[in-house]
Amino acid sequence: MAAAVAACESGHSVTVFEASRTLGGRARALGATLPDGTAVTLDNGQHILIGAYTETLRLMRLVGVNPDTALLRCPLALPFPDGSGLQTPACAARWPAPLDAIAAIATARGWSWGERWSLIRASLGWQLAGFACAPELSVAQLCAGIAPRVLHELIEPLCVSALNTPAEQASATVFLRVMKDSLFGVRGGSHLLLPRTDLTALFPQAAAQWITQRGGQVHTGQRIQQLRWHAPHWLLNGQAFDRVIWASSSSNSALALVEYASTAPESIASDLRSWAATASALRFEAIATVYAWAHQARLPHSMLALRATPDAPAQFVFDRGQLGAPQGLLAFVVSASAGSREELQAAVLAQAASQLQQLGLGPLQVVQTVVEKQATFACTPLLQRPSQQIAPGLLAAGDYVAGPYPATLEGAVRSGWACGSLP
C-alpha cells in the first residue's frame, strides 16, 4: 500500500491487486469472539511502532490517519510485572535524544550502577564509532561487555522484538541501525507507539480510500495467476501495465517468478531466476501471538515485559483493553517462536500464571493463537537480501528487500515508497 500511495503521488494511474479480502498482509485485522460471546477484532500479530518510524508516520498523515489519536505514545518503558525494568522518568519524556534514553537507563529499577553504566558506556561507544561495526558480528558479540542482567532484561528482548532473531544469531550491523534511529535520532524516536485500532484501519484501509479518491483502483480477493512480458508491457492476468511492483512475501514472489521464467524470453528469464534464487535463500523466523482473556483483567501498564525462558516463551504482554478492545483482553507475543500452537498456548498460560499472579488477573482463557510461521526473515550477519529491481519494469517491495532495516513496518513502508516513487 505504501508503494501504491507513492506511485499515485508520482502521477501514475494505480491498480492494486490483493489476494486476501482484507488489506494489510501480515499486519491485518482478524475477527474473533471472546469466551463471553463478545465479538472482538484482533490482529494477525501484535505490532508496535516507535517514534523513529518517521516514514510510516508521515504516510499515515498523508492518507488522513492522525497518529496522535490512532496510536498511544509512551516514553521508552519496558517494566516487568514486579515494577523493575526500564522506565523513562516523567521529567525526561520530552528531552531530546539521547538524553531521554540515558535518563531511562540511569533510573532503571533493579539494576546496580555498574549494570547501568555498562549499557551507557556501550551506547556511547556505538555513537563514537558512528554506529558501525564489523559486518560479521552478532548482537551477542557486539554486546559482550554489557552486564549479563542488562543483556537478559533489555538487549535480548529489544533484539528479538526488532529483528525477530535471537541475539546470538542476529546481525549487529542492523541492530546498530535500529539503535541509532531510535535512541540517538529524532526527538521521541525511542517512544513506543501502540495501535489503538486494528492494523487494517491503522493505514491500509485509509490508503485504499486515498488511492480510489484519486482515480486508482483497489481490488481485494483477486490473486494474480499469470505474469507475462509482452513488449512494451507487463501483463497481469492478461491486463497490460507499464510497470509492476510485486509486493507479496519473498517465498510467494520467488515461486511466481520461477514459474514465469520457464516461458519468459531469456533476457528476462535470467534476471527472474537470479532474483528468485536470492529470495529463496532467506531463512525465516516465526512470531506467535496468544490472545487470552479474563473478565475485568487489567495490567498496570498497556505493555509489560516478561522474563522469557525456553519454558516461558513470551517476551511481552499487551493490555488490549487499554488500547480500544474490550477490557480483559491480553496479547502475549512470542518472537522467534518455536513449537506447535498447542505447546505455545500451554507454555504462555503457565508463564502468565507464574509471572502475573501478583496482579490478581484470575484464570486466563485462550481466545485465539496466531502463528505466522514465516513472519520475518532471519536477520543474520552478512545476509544477502534480494534487490528492488527484478527485471526492467518489474520491481519488488517488501520488508525483506535490500535495505537498512529489519523486517518491520517501517522497513516495508520505506521499501514500498522507494519503488512507487521511481519515475
How confident is the model over 60-78, as pLDDT tens digits? 999 999 999 999 999 988 9
Mean pLDDT value of segment 392-405: 95
Per-residue pLDDT band at 99 (split at 50, 70, 90) = confident
With both helix axes pointing from N to C terminus, report the angle between 172-183 and 156-163 in degrees, rounded to the nearest 10: 100
Question: What is residue 105's predicted lDDT score, i.e. its pLDDT?
Answer: 85
Specify whether the CB–CB gap between 187 and 96 falls below 8 A. Answer: yes
Asked whether residue 218 is assigned to any structural domain, the reply reads: no
Give the E-state strand segments of 134-283 in sequence order.
192-195, 217-220, 227-230, 233-236, 239-241, 244-246
Of 423, 11, 393, which is closest to residue 227 (Cα–Cα)?
Answer: 393
Asked whether residue 162 is assigned to any structural domain, the reply reads: yes
Of 388, 319, 395, which is closest to residue 352 (Cα–Cα)?
Answer: 319
Is 106 a residue whose pLDDT tops 90?
no
Least confident piece of the model among 7-11, 262-266, 310-314: 262-266
Residues 82 and 186 in one domain: yes
pTM: 0.94
Per-residue pLDDT band at 422 (split at 50, 70, 90) = confident
Mean pLDDT value of segment 246-270: 92
Asked whether residue 83 is assigned to any structural domain, the reply reads: yes
Please report, for residues 26, 28, 112, 243, the alpha-carbon distance to residue 23 in angstroms, rounded to integers and kept in the order given: 9, 6, 47, 21
Domain boundary among 340, 360, 377: 377
Which is it for strands 217-220 and 227-230: parallel, antiparallel or unpaired? unpaired
Q: Residue 303 sits in which domain range?
A: 284-377
Give the contacts of 272 (CB within 8 A, at least 6 positions apart): 257, 258, 260, 261, 264, 390, 391
Per-residue pLDDT band at 166 (split at 50, 70, 90) = very high
User: Whole-angstrom distance between the N-terminal and C-terminal Cα of the chain?
Assistant: 18
Element holding 188 (H helix, E strand):
none
Q: In angstroms, rounded to a whole number, what is the distance separating the alpha carbons of residues 146 and 116?
A: 9
Give the contacts of 367 (CB within 8 A, at least 6 positions apart): 32, 33, 34, 35, 40, 42, 291, 292, 293, 329
Of 30, 24, 81, which is closest to residue 297 (Cα–Cα)?
Answer: 81
Element holding 238 (H helix, E strand):
none
Is 281 a residue whose pLDDT tops 90?
yes
Q: In angstroms, rounded to a whole number, what is the distance separating the alpha carbons of residues 7 and 245?
A: 10
Is 93 a residue whose pLDDT tops 90?
no
Question: What is residue 79's predicted lDDT score, i.e. its pLDDT?
Answer: 93
Please report, for residues 91, 190, 411, the alpha-carbon distance to residue 96 in angstroms, rounded to integers and kept in the order given: 12, 10, 24
C-alpha cell, 275: 532474483
Domain boundary among 190, 223, 244: 190
Mean pLDDT value of segment 314-319: 96
Question: What is residue 199's predicted lDDT score, i.e. its pLDDT?
Answer: 96
CATH code where residue 356 lies: 3.90.660.20
Per-residue pLDDT band at 101 (split at 50, 70, 90) = confident
Mean pLDDT value of segment 166-184: 93
Of 177, 195, 167, 187, which is closest to residue 72 (Cα–Cα)?
Answer: 195
C-alpha cell, 91: 521529567
pLDDT digit string, tens, across residues 205-249: 999 999 999 999 999 999 999 999 998 999 999 999 999 999 999
Q: In angstroms, rounded to a whole number, what is the distance separating the alpha carbons of residues 214 and 8?
A: 8
Average pLDDT, the chain: 94
Question: What is residue 12's predicted lDDT score, i.e. its pLDDT?
Answer: 96
Asked whether residue 369 is assigned to any structural domain, the reply reads: yes
Asked whether residue 173 is assigned to any structural domain, the reply reads: yes
Cα-Cα-Cα-Cα torsion 139, 354, 324, 23, nearest 10 degrees, comes to 50
Per-residue pLDDT band at 95 (split at 50, 70, 90) = confident
Asked whether residue 298 is assigned to any structural domain, the reply reads: yes
Indicate the number of domains in the chain: 2
Is 104 a residue whose pLDDT tops 90?
no
Per-residue pLDDT band at 88 (split at 50, 70, 90) = confident
Is 185 a residue whose pLDDT tops 90?
no
Cα-Cα-Cα-Cα torsion 253, 257, 258, 261, nearest 10 degrees, comes to 180
Asked whether residue 422 is assigned to any structural domain, the reply reads: no
Asked whether residue 129 is assigned to any structural domain, the reply reads: yes
Residue 326 is given by DSSP the state P
Amino acid at 100: D
pLDDT digit string, tens, across residues 346-385: 999 999 999 998 898 889 999 999 999 989 999 999 999 9
The SS3 call for residue 29 is: strand
Residue 155 is given by DSSP the state I
Sign (positive/negative) of CA torsion 139, 143, 148, 153? negative
Question: What is residue 334's predicted lDDT score, i.e. its pLDDT?
Answer: 96
Question: What is residue 96's predicted lDDT score, i.e. its pLDDT?
Answer: 86
Mean pLDDT value of segment 32-57: 94
Question: What is residue 409's predicted lDDT score, i.e. its pLDDT?
Answer: 95
Q: Which residue has the cell 529524532?
A: 186
